[in-house]
Amino acid sequence: MEYILIIISAIFVNNIVLTKFLGICPFIGVSNRIHTAVGMTGAVTFVMVVATIVTYLLQHYVLEVFKITFMQTITFILVIASLVQLVEIILKKVSLALYQALGIFLPLITTNCAILGVAILSVQNNYNLLESVVFSVASALGFGLALVTFSGIRQHLELVEVPEQMKGVPIAFIVAGLLALAFMGFAGIV
């Protein structure tokens, strides 16, 4: 039952983008087309899960053991950057087609603060390894849900008449705010 609560909470109630405001750059920048949003979601999901596992292990078996938890943030950032580079190298060697399909998404993930946020929140919530993995997968799904929903709305906005001054980023910010308000409606669930 606890895992179900973690999943519902991470996807809807405490959505990493719409309530924690982490990962706003790709949320605004990559949300012009649904297919790019889906690609970014896949890449973020993979890196988020692997980064959460590695940072969990580092936190509990290195940082806490040597009492250097003050190094948590810089350690987690280095792990995420290293993982993205490693994934990029492996994909380039193993599957050039997938590497080219992800394109710019992999380097963008390095600077996605949602991944760092999920790793830190897993530690702050005192999740065990399995709970951390469930939380990271659910957070990535919540990120994807918000990103794909926002992309669909932005694509629809291109077809409707919007005042000239509101076109582009201004209307996108208004829609993002309304989407965040809609997700706040889930607050009483968990």
Alpha-helix residue ranges (DSSP H) falling in the chain: 2-8, 24-29, 34-58, 72-94, 96-102, 105-110, 113-124, 129-157, 169-184
Q: Measure the CA–CA gap between 25 and 96, rounded to whole angstroms.
A: 27
Over residues 73-94, mean pLDDT: 88
What confidence tier does 130 reach under pLDDT thresholds 50, 70, 90?
A: very high
pLDDT at 165 over 80: yes
Choice between 41 and 72, residue whose per-residue pLDDT is larger: 72
For position 153, what pLDDT does the model report? 93
pLDDT at 20 over 70: yes
What confidence tier does 85 reach under pLDDT thresholds 50, 70, 90?
A: confident
Over residues 114-125, mean pLDDT: 95
For residues 130-169, b (16+ Cβ closer than 10 Å) or e, as one string? Answer: ebbbbbbbbbbbbbbbbbbbbbebbeebeeeeeeeeeeee
Segment among 55-69, 86-100, 175-189 with least mean pLDDT: 86-100
Q: Residue 112 burial by CB count (10 A; 0-12/13-18/19+): exposed, middle or buried?
A: buried
For position 9, what pLDDT does the model report? 92
Over residues 141-151, mean pLDDT: 93
Other Cβ atoms within 10 Å of 24 Cβ, number: 15
- Contact between residue 55 and residue 178 where contact means Cβ atoms under 8 Å apart: no
pTM for the predicted model, two decimal places = 0.88
For position 138, what pLDDT does the model report? 97
Long-range own/partner contacts, residues 102-106 (CB < 8 A, 24 or more apart): 102/39, 102/42, 102/43, 103/39, 105/30, 105/36, 105/39, 105/40, 105/43, 106/43
For position 190, what pLDDT does the model report? 66
For position 68, what pLDDT does the model report? 96
